[in-house]
């Protein structure tokens, strides 16, 4: 149940980000306030469970900087990509990141070549190509493609180094501090540019709700990890794209084309194949939320 609730929350947040764009909410303000609320929710959950609210000594600054630099950039690029393409197209292109992690792990020697790995990478590439080709007319422009894939690249680097830089800290504590790092870097820009004053009342409520859903979804993700294990959780969380795509069609009226659906099915199948196949334990787990 926690896993399904997490899928629903993360998918809903993506749709809400598109609504925030239509409200005219600037990128850094939207990203910063959302992650500030999400981090506070994570801290509240940790306090309620009487768990450590901070990473272990020596890893706190690393967690904060990972958020301020890497994870903050992926969130900013994802939000900007939504300004150049539909929710469906951007979400599906972002979810090529497990294939990017797979390729990087092979190149770095963290994982050995197998037919599973090759098939997963090929399926993801073909799926992404179908999403782009079928959606070029109504789904996304070249800038949006670059932004969505750029977001996927940043989350790939984040996941590759996260386990190595933060090996001892509880995951939910790390998530809270990463969220505060994202909020610190983006809100600094937002305040300097006067973006906070331009937030409408409706946008403020959407940011509060999407931030709370982000924090609750993050906690639910770690409950699912404990119950299902990383590979199955990765596959489950990939279904948040289904929620985002469905929500964009029903709530926003954005078109979803047959080629995009086929490409999305290939991408999700590639995630399942890569996550559930035998692999080396040193390889990073491809688990991250959208945007």
Q: Is residue 291 part of a domain?
A: no
Q: Is 217 a domain residue?
A: yes
Q: Which residues constitute the domain of residue 213?
A: 2-276
Q: CA 270, 276, 278, 282 torsion: positive or negative?
A: positive
Tell whether 284 is covered by a domain. Answer: no
Question: Could you tell me if residue 282 is inside a domain?
Answer: no
CA dist 55 → 11, 169, 174, 184, 236 (Å): 28, 5, 6, 17, 27
Residue 170's H or E segment, with its range, is none
Of 263, 20, 249, nearest in space to 135 by CA? 263
Does residue 241 sit in helix, strand or coil?
Answer: helix
> How many angstroms separate the CA atoms of 176 and 185, rounded?
15
Report whether 173 contacts 219 (CB < 8 A).
no
Residues 6+ apart with CB under 8 A from 107: none
Give a yes or no: residue 81 inside a domain: yes
- Comparing 21-30, 177-186, 260-269, the range with the smallest average pLDDT is 260-269
- Whole-number Cα distances in Å, 280 to 32, 54, 96, 103: 36, 30, 20, 14
Q: Structural domain tally of the chain? A: 1
pLDDT in tens, 149-207: 999 999 889 988 888 898 898 889 999 999 999 999 999 999 999 898 889 899 999 99
Rounded average pLDDT over 114-141: 77
- Distance CA(12)–CA(122), nearest Å, equals 29
């Amino acid at each position: 149940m926690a896993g399904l609730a997490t899928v629903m929350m993360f998918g809903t947040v993506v749709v809400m980000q598109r609504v925030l764009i239509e409200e005219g909410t600037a990128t850094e303000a939207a990203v910063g306030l959302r992650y500030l609320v999400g981090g506070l929710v994570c801290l509240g959950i940790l306090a309620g469970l009487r768990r450590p609210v901070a990473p272990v000594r020596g890893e706190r600054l690393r967690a904060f900087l990972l958020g301020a630099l890497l994870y903050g950039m992926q969130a900013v690029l994802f939000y900007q990509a939504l300004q150049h393409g539909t929710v469906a197209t951007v979400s599906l292109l972002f979810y090529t990141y497990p294939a990017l992690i797979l390729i990087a792990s092979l190149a770095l020697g963290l994982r050995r070549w197998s037919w599973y790995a090759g098939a997963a990478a090929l399926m993801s590439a073909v799926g992404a190509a179908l999403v782009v080709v079928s959606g070029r007319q109504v789904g996304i422009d070249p800038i949006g493609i670059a932004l969505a894939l750029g977001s996927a690249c940043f989350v790939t680097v984040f996941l590759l180094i996260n386990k190595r830089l933060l090996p001892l800290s509880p995951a939910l504590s790390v998530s809270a501090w990463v969220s505060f790092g994202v909020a610190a870097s983006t809100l600094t820009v937002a305040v300097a540019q006067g973006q906070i004053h331009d937030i409408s009342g409706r946008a403020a409520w959407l940011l509060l709700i999407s931030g709370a859903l982000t924090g609750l979804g993050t906690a639910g993700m770690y409950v699912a990890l404990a119950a299902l294990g990383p590979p199955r959780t990765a596959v489950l969380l990939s279904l948040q794209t289904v929620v985002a795509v469905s929500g964009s069609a029903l709530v926003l009226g954005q078109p979803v084309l047959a080629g995009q659906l086929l490409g999305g099915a290939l991408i999700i199948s590639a995630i399942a194949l890569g996550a559930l196949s035998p692999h080396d334990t040193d390889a990073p787990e491809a688990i991250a939320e959208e945007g």
